[in-house]
Amino acid sequence: MNGSLAFEQALLKEGVYIKTGPYVSCLKSPITSLAESLLSLYHESQISLKEEFVDFHVSIEYPGILRHYFRPQILFKFDGFSPFKPLPAAQVYPFFEWGLNWCIATNSNSHLILHAAVVEKNNCAIIFPAAPGSGKSTLCAGLVARGWRLLSDEMAMIDLKSQALTAIVRPISLKNESIDVIKKFAPNFYFGSIVHDTNKGTVSHVKVPSAQKDMNKSANPAWMVFPKYKKNAKTSLKETSKAQAFLRAAENSFNYNVLAEAGFNALGDVIDVCECYDFCYSDLDEAIKTFDELAAEKKN
Amino acid sequence: MKNCLLISLLRDITLVKRLSLNEWDLLIRQARSTGLTARLYYFIKKNELVEFIPAIVLKHFISEWMYFTKLYQSVGWELSELKVALEKKGLPVLLMKGTAYVALELEASKGRIFSDIDLLFPHDSIDLAESALMNAGWMGTHHNEYDRNYYRQWMHEIPPLRHVQRQSVLDVHHNILPPTAKIKVNAEKLLENIIEVNGENIFCLSPEDLVLHSVTHLFHEGDFVHGLRDISDLDLLLKEFSVQKTFWTKLTERVTELNLGRPLYYGLRYSSFFLKTSIPDSVICSVNRFAPNALMLRVMDFVFLRALMPDHPSCDVRWTGLARWLLYIRSHWLRMPMYLLVPHLLRKSWMGFVGGTAKD
């Protein structure tokens, strides 16, 4: 109780620190409900009240006195600069997560970044590059519920030389129907509050299970899988050509264009070491069985 | 003036040897706010000091450097495309500002992030140039009639052109200041003095004119987010050009010909104030005659010493906001006489109010 009060006070004044993989963010906000969300969705080891070097100084503020009281709105700021239009105050927690995604995506040209979920077993990682709505987060949450280690549900951060994947562990973001699907599938997962009517529909965040050790350990890519959730579809895993996989991964990259030759080479190297598949599913249990089998093959 | 870590580093890059993590944190924030991260990294690399950057800080420098490298590379490609497009109509590629620094491989181009390519044409070739560029895929960006006419009638450039595929933006000028500005510049004189970039049929303003354009731009500007970056450009240009023995003489002669004394006076004053740029005494003496009266100078010091600091809360002092606002007003006032400015601002705010949908 005392701890959470101190945390709330820090959020208001000097800021609280959230450590996710290689990044430390400092968040200040007058909206104290954020304190509770952060404390319940992040692990104790990811939160602190003092850090010397901060990668992203962010704040969530009321845009002005009017929108503080009348249909309250909030604004995300990256060191005083607002990259987005204000949103309704009810969306405060997802707004923080999206804002942080933006900070990472626009400041990480030291790595190749794909819009993808990444999970690992036996030091072999699956990269799931996909457009929104393809069922990537659902699949990712399902795998994590059955013992795969989460590296990220949003970004594959690829080292330009070694192709190692950096872990940026943050709460998994689920949308619309997948919230109920995962609630049933993993009843002991902790869900943050459910927020309706956002740009992406209804969203909720899931705390990464505490069984997950090695929060910050990197992993080597072994598979690149393009997932597609299709109602009533039979589970199917089909090998796809490396050339196709390359182009589709590049399409799902935040900074492939910026990195030019270095990006081309890094992505080529990742594709070289990965088996590449198209994956279609509707049944989560079957989906997980498929990937467990892949992992078992690799081990033998 | 408030102590600013970024400015100390721009003056003496060897200070990176002694920074605490807290100071690195502040340095990255200040550099980011004014677009100087990649340039700072260039200075650090050039002085072989990279080993002093802690690993957790280095990723930010590398990230910005990758971004810069990509821009730098694409400028080369855009230039070759521009050359092809303009040669067909017998027009030269004549560069100003950032793109000229790149073409001339100047120090000021290293780590400099910019978004537009600035071109200069003789006034009577502007229409020809525009159609040549449109044929090559650069299309107009302003689609309402008022804006288009405003540019053509009152500005020293046509509305920016954007390439339909590559998204590169061209600013197509026929002068460096609007015809309505208080200071009149004879653009023909700029054209008489251009230099060719090693036989490639690409031209740039001469070194003196690049400096004069840089100060003119800065001291007619209304937005000072990158003010310190521009002062750093000026500092680097002066350092690099002053190696040529005749540079300072040429500059002091040229400034009278182009009627740009006042901007040069401010440029030298604030560059030496912020970055300790070394300027020969004889030049300072000669340029002093362009100074405003003592009262005006105090006012200008008040605003510029605040507005040219990085636009970051850690650098704000009392009245920083006011200073930036005054300079914004001043920039409009310098560009247009009141009888044109007031109707323009009223019209623009009305268009903003009704959603900018004035009939096209």
Domains identified in chain B, total number: 1
Per the prediction, chain A carries an average pLDDT of 92
A258: nearest CB among B24, B70, B312? B70
Query: Is B25 in contact with A260 (Cβ distance < 8 A)?
Result: no
Are A137 and A117 contacting, i.e. CB atoms less than 8 angstroms apart? yes
What is the model's pLDDT at position B333? 77
What pLDDT digit, counting tens, does each position of A57-93 carry?
A: 999 999 877 767 777 889 999 998 899 999 998 899 9
- Cβ neighbours of B310 (radius 10 Å): 26
- Is there a domain that residue B348 lies in? yes
Distance of CA B253 to the CA centre of its chain: 22
C-alpha–C-alpha distance, residues B210 and B100, integer Å: 8
Q: CB contact, 8 Å: A108 with chain B?
A: yes
Chain A residues in contact with B324 (beta carbon < 8 A): none
Residues in CB range of B114: below 8 A, 6 or more apart: B71, B97, B98, B99
Please return the burial class of B97, using the count of CB atoms within 10 Å of its CB with bins 0-12, 13-18 and 19+: buried
Identity (one letter) of the amino acid at B42?
Y
What is the model's pLDDT at position B178? 84
Chain A residues in contact with B25 (beta carbon < 8 A): 52-54
Q: Which two tokens stand for residue A141?
A: 């949450």
Q: CB contact, 8 Å: B20 with chain A?
A: yes
Question: Of A214, A158, A184, A216, which Cα lies nearest the Cα of A23?
Answer: A216
Report chain A's terminal Cα–Cα distance, integer Å.
49
Are A139 and A110 contacting, i.e. CB atoms less than 8 angstroms apart? no
Are A290 and A235 contacting, i.e. CB atoms less than 8 angstroms apart? yes
What is the model's pLDDT at position B136? 92
The length of chain B is 360
Identity (one letter) of the amino acid at A75?
L
What is the model's pLDDT at position A91? 92
Query: Is B63 in contact with A259 (Cβ distance < 8 A)?
Result: no
C-alpha–C-alpha distance, residues A242 and B336, integer Å: 60
C-alpha–C-alpha distance, residues B82 and B74, integer Å: 12
What is the model's pLDDT at position B252? 95
Indicate the pLDDT class of residue A266, thresholds 50, 70 and 90.
very high
Q: Which residue of B has its CA nearest to A79?
A: B29
- How far from B127 is each of A133, B42, B152, B303, CA to CA, in Å? 48, 40, 11, 39
What pLDDT digit, counting tens, does each position of A188-204 carry?
A: 999 998 989 888 889 99
- Is there a domain that residue B358 lies in? no
What is the model's pLDDT at position B357? 45
What is the model's pLDDT at position B1? 65
Is A183 a residue whose pLDDT tops 50? yes
Q: Which two tokens stand for residue A79?
A: 């060191």
Are B8 and B315 contacting, i.e. CB atoms less than 8 angstroms apart? no
From B311's Cα to the closest Cα of chain A, the distance in A is: 10
What pLDDT digit, counting tens, does each position of A210-258 carry?
A: 766 788 899 999 999 999 999 899 999 999 999 999 999 999 999 999 9
From B41's Cα to the closest Cα of chain A, the distance in A is: 14
Q: CB contact, 8 Å: A259 with chain B?
A: yes
Please return the burial class of B128, using the count of CB atoms within 10 Å of its CB with bins 0-12, 13-18 and 19+: middle
Query: Is B312 in contact with A80 (Cβ distance < 8 A)?
Result: yes
- Looking up residue B233, the CATH number of its domain turns out to be 3.30.460.40
C-alpha–C-alpha distance, residues B253 and B240, integer Å: 19
Query: Is B70 in contact with A107 (Cβ distance < 8 A)?
Result: no
Are A154 and A170 contacting, i.e. CB atoms less than 8 angstroms apart? yes
Indicate the pLDDT class of residue A2, thresholds 50, 70 and 90.
low
Edge-to-edge strand list for the sheet holding A201-206: A172-175, A201-206, A195-198
Residue B324: domain span: 5-353
Average pLDDT over residues A262-279: 96
Q: Mutate which of B56, B226, B309 to test chain A, going by most A C-beta atoms within 10 A? A: B56
- Is there a domain that residue B359 lies in? no
Edge-to-edge strand list for the sheet holding A87-88: A47-48, A16-20, A23-28, A56-61, A73-78, A87-88
B21: nearest CB among A53, A57, A110? A53
Sign of torsion over alpha carbons A246, A248, A251, A255: negative
- Is there a domain that residue B40 lies in? yes
Calculate the CA dihedral of residues A182, A185, A190, A191 and round it to 10 degrees. 20
From A97's Cα to the closest Cα of chain B, the distance in A is: 20
* Tokens 């704000």 found at: B316
Chain B residues in contact with A260 (beta carbon < 8 A): 69-70, 73
Domain boundaries, chain A: 2-106, 111-299
Q: Which two tokens stand for residue A54?
A: 């901060």
Most distant CA atoms of chain A, gap in Å: 64
- Is there a domain that residue B39 lies in? yes
Q: Which two tokens stand for residue B62?
A: 């590398």
Give mean pLDDT in consecutive 10-residue pieces for chain B, a chain of 360 residues. Answer: 89 96 97 96 97 97 96 92 92 94 96 92 92 92 77 81 92 88 87 88 94 92 87 97 95 94 96 95 94 93 91 85 86 75 75 55
Are A130 and A226 contacting, i.e. CB atoms less than 8 angstroms apart? yes
A114 or B184, which is more confident: A114
C-alpha–C-alpha distance, residues A23 and A46, integer Å: 10
From A273's Cα to the closest Cα of chain B, the distance in A is: 25
Q: Which residue of A has its CA nearest to B166?
A: A257
A109: nearest CB among B21, B57, B67? B67
Are B311 and B298 contacting, i.e. CB atoms less than 8 angstroms apart? no
Chain B residues in contact with A258 (beta carbon < 8 A): 66-67, 70
The number of CA neighbours under 13 Å toward the Cβ of A81 is: 14
Going along B113-255, which residue ranges are E strands? 116-120, 138-140, 161-163, 169-173, 195-196, 202-204
pTM: predicted TM-score of the whole model, two decimal places: 0.91
